[in-house]
Structure 1
Amino acid sequence: MGKNSQLKPLSFTIIDGDIKLKQFIEHCRKRFVGGETTSTGKPLAKLTMQISNGDLTGLVIEVRLKRMEGNTAIVAASWRYNFDRTSTFVLGHYIGAEPMSLAEARTAHQQAYDIRRNGGVLKRETAASRKRAEQEASKAAEEAPTLNRLWAVRQATFEDRAPKLFPGYLSVWRKWIASSELASTPLVEVTYKRLFDHLISMREAGAGPEPRRRAIFLLNGLCDYAMKTVDGWSLPKMLNGADVDVFSKGELNRERNRYLRISELRDLWKLTDTGGAAHQAIRFIIATGVRKSEACNASFDEIDLERGLWTVPASRMKQGKVHMVKLNSVALAVLNQQREIHGDAGWVFPSPSLAPHRRKSPVAGKSLNNAQDTLNNQMGTTAEKWTIHDLRRTAATYINRDRDAGGIGLSLHVTDEMLAHATKTKLQRTYMVNAEYHISTEAISGFMAWGEWLEANVINPPPTSDVTAIRRKKA
């Protein structure tokens, strides 16, 4: 041993922070300068220390002596992952090229552990391997499917299907889509929002309703083809006819307050009398006030017909909490009709599609959107066209409106519970902590009163245009 053989030992055996890390590095330098030797008589050239990383083990730092410059030890330090007793993997360097911090080393350790746990092989990333990866990513991006590339493949198909209309669609493609950023974006980055934003840009650039309608047709056709041919790519929501009337960005931020008048509700109810799953789902939304996705994905497993309760699981609710709906006479009539047609197992509103990927699936939200467009046209809506979500707003409006003004007159907090709105105030959150586990008596009577209101004013209205007031029964 050299002059530093009496060097005071460290007060720790594992490094749990940057301060101890720096103390260990300095300790190593002093021992190297002291000229210590190993048990075999060789000069001491490396030291290691364990690093804490939560519940994981195997992360160490190795400090090596590179050379001596006078009384100064020049060292290199690397992060290593030791596993299987004799195996080690270099995660990166603490002192040296491309230094890695303690936090980064812990993250790299976790990633390496996960790779091994999942049966992967650890590979050290170097500057050369990183460059190769970047080149491969660049090449993949050049070869990645885009709307422009899909158009090159599908253009002839569009022309064959509608040779007389094709010139108009081709003009829209060339003028409004081909040279846009959307058309050259890799397909994996194409979302409904990007498609919708493109319609906004078309409108702001002066495109009328017809070019926007044709753009929707083209974009949906290409996306549908891509979902069938591009592995791993899907678009949960596609553009629909209502998107033709896309608003400008400023108008999109405007609060929407559209609800259906009683006369419109009566017309809508008559038009959905003989419809399929989409029409019945629309009726169900009116009767229960639920969201479109909650109605479309309803299953008979969630419904207790004996008690007249529908329990929507938290996984399907916007607020992430279980929602309970008391099924009134109107909702039960819809359910009974669906049971007679489809049985009481599986989806309440099964998809009518014969496509292989849609069989044994619930009715799609797109089907309701299409039905909405058709119904708007059949009703001859002259004012602002209604949407599926406006039906929910309609229910909330009449449930909360005073009886003297034609509503039921329920309080706002009961209306919010019935429609599973987010709790508005801290006081409500404090005193409704168990609201996801039960339904209040006020909400139960509210659902029943809403069913009675619909029967009296929409389904079986009085001969005159008067509105029948509903007197709520005490729970």
Structure 2
Amino acid sequence: MNKRISSNATLQALKPRDKEYLIPDKIIEGLNIRVRPTGTMTWTFRFQIGKKHEKISMGRYVKAKPEIGMTLDQARKEAGRYRNWLENNKNPKAELARERRELDEAKTFDDAFISFDEKRLSKQLRGEQSRTIYLRDIKPYIGSIKLADLGIVDLNRVFDAKVDKDGYRMAGAIGACHKIINQVINHALALNMLVTHPAPQLKAKDVGGGSKVTKRNLSFAEIKALLSSLSEWRTDRANIRLIRFLLGCGQRISAVLEMRWSELDIEDGVWTLPASSEDRHTKSIDSRKVPLSHYLIELLQEQRESVPKKWQLVWPQLTLDKIQEASAVRSLIKRNLPSGVEHFSPHDLRRTFISRCSEMGLDIIAIEKTVGHQLPGMLRVYNHHDYLNEQLTVLQAWGDKLQELTITNVVPLVTKQSALG
């Protein structure tokens, strides 16, 4: 066939056949378009070195939208480079390999993170949190360093910077940075952007990181002391209701602080938590229902009266329909910590819910389902019961217990006569 590619019109006129075929370009020797029976069109460059025939796949030509693939002009420009190498007794394949090596050697840690973010982090439920940590705590120190030059000294600059105002190393922050750095390095290794890990044996604990698993949970005596002290807290009544709700529902603080009125059906007593997203950090890939006890419904009804009807959030900031920061709740607890109660965090209230409900002898599977935990082992695979009634039983019993603990003990007066007995 004598047909050659002379213009875009030639490409647009090509049709698929039973067998794939090649059409050479009229301008650049060696440049061809390959048309497959499926209709896929691919640019190739064919050449000969000595007696050996070689080819290079260059990219696709997309008939429907040429601009999203490799256009005719782009293919001719790229093939022109290959032809120039041949005329100077250079192998185009070898030259391309050399260029790729030089590009890889020039890639920085930030380039690797951008690739990691695009291909993996953006698909994770809580990718935004890791992205924020990287931009704030990692990029300023090692973002501009070439991957090939990255060493333990550079990594230590990141870890050494994480100290508090008293000069103590911040284990949690160091652990988070260590995890992200390792994820990016392993991604770079998988894509051949990096040959070796600069510190393969380095553990977070080696640089002062690693979060200690806490077992903090409040005893029944501490819960009673906490509930009894709430009326004396120096804060708005809405914040007192929030603390009681956190203790009463057992859910993550992020899910509670981001709760919308639209998610609640007070009449049927159900809270529908949506799947985790950029707006809702529920740590769940699916939405789920949480039944509401009388204790929780009463708190929500009180809260409804104190929040403007047009506001979306259930537990907003006091003057704005904006999400409260968890740090504000932690500060609230710290400022008002009652005597006889050791320091605790909002997440410790969730651990308290699970621990004390278990102590009460309530169904452990229903407890786990209530807090949104995955069931262990094969139960997760085969048991798809929603346990809504069982969850309600747990929450109702827990709410009744909290109500009981809220009531201050009344000490009866002892008369003089009875005292003398």
TM normalised by structure 2 equals 0.56
Residue 56 to residue 251, structure 1, CA distance change in 2 (3 Å) = same
Q: Deviations over 1:405-430 (max 9, x none)?
A: xx2x1121111111111111213431
Q: Deviations over 1:280-322 (max 9, x none)?
A: 3222111110001011001110000111111111224323222
Residue 276 of structure 2 is aligned to residue 329 of structure 1: no
Amino acid at match of 1:459: T
> Given that residues 32 and 43 in structure 2 are in contact (C-alpha distance below 8 angstroms), is that contact kept between their aligned partners in structure 1?
no
2:251 paired residue among 290, 300, 310: 290
Matches within 5 A, 1:147-296: 184=141, 198=159, 202=163, 210-212=166-168, 252=210, 254-273=212-231, 275-276=235-236, 277-296=238-257
Partner of 2:180: none
Residue 412 of structure 2 is aligned to residue 460 of structure 1: no
1:82 paired residue among 49, 58, 61: 61
Matches within 5 A, 1:21-36: none
Distance 2:273 2:99 in 1: 52
Partner of 1:410: 362
1:272 is paired with a residue whose SS is helix
Residue 257 to residue 78, structure 1, CA distance change in 2 (3 Å) = closer
Amino acid at match of 1:394: T
1:342, distance to aligned residue in structure 2 (A) = 0.9
Partner of 1:423: 375
Partner of 1:350: 316
1:13 paired residue among 1, 11, 19: 19
Partner of 2:270: 309
Residue 353 of structure 2 is aligned to residue 400 of structure 1: no
Distance 2:284 2:261 in 1: 22
> Given that residues 300 and 347 in structure 1 are in contact (C-alpha distance below 8 angstroms), is that contact kept between their aligned partners in structure 2?
yes
Partner of 1:441: 389
Distance 1:182 1:380 in 2: 44
Amino acid at match of 1:81: R
1:77 is paired with a residue whose SS is strand
1:337, distance to aligned residue in structure 2 (A) = 2.3
Distance 1:260 1:352 in 2: 28
Partner of 2:85: none
Higher relative contact order (CA 8 A, sep 6+): 2
Q: Deviations over 1:103-153 (max 9, x none)?
A: xxxxxxxxxxxxxxxxxxxxxxx959x87x969x89x9xxxxxxxxxxxxx
Partner of 1:49: 34
Residue 349 to residue 97, structure 1, CA distance change in 2 (3 Å) = same
1:266, distance to aligned residue in structure 2 (A) = 2.3
Distance 2:403 2:160 in 1: 41
Distance 2:207 2:375 in 1: 29
Aligned residues: 296
1:451, distance to aligned residue in structure 2 (A) = 0.7
Residue 424 to residue 60, structure 1, CA distance change in 2 (3 Å) = same
Distance 1:422 1:249 in 2: 33
Distance 1:445 1:416 in 2: 13
Amino acid at match of 1:379: S
Residue 425 to residue 96, structure 1, CA distance change in 2 (3 Å) = same
Residue 347 of structure 2 is aligned to residue 389 of structure 1: yes
Q: Deviations over 1:332-370 (max 9, x none)?
A: 2321222111134410011136xxxxx431212121122
1:324 is paired with a residue whose SS is strand
Residue 431 to residue 418, structure 1, CA distance change in 2 (3 Å) = same
TM normalised by structure 1 equals 0.51
Distance 2:264 2:283 in 1: 19
1:249, distance to aligned residue in structure 2 (A) = 7.6
Residue 411 to residue 181, structure 1, CA distance change in 2 (3 Å) = closer
Residue 83 to residue 258, structure 1, CA distance change in 2 (3 Å) = closer
Amino acid at match of 1:340: E
Amino acid at match of 1:287: G
Distance 1:389 1:56 in 2: 57
**Long gaps (5+) in structure 2:** 2-16, 83-90, 112-136, 145-154, 171-204, 412-421
Residue 47 to residue 343, structure 1, CA distance change in 2 (3 Å) = closer
> Given that residues 374 and 380 in structure 2 are in contact (C-alpha distance below 8 angstroms), is that contact kept between their aligned partners in structure 1?
no
> Given that residues 200 and 249 in structure 1 are in contact (C-alpha distance below 8 angstroms), is that contact kept between their aligned partners in structure 2?
no
- Paired-residue identity, %: 17
Residue 339 of structure 2 is aligned to residue 379 of structure 1: yes
Distance 1:338 1:56 in 2: 62
Distance 2:160 2:339 in 1: 26
Q: Deviations over 1:388-413 (max 9, x none)?
A: 11101111111111xxxxx2x11211
Residue 257 of structure 2 is aligned to residue 299 of structure 1: no
Q: Deviations over 1:262-288 (max 9, x none)?
A: 222123224433633444322211111
Amino acid at match of 1:449: A
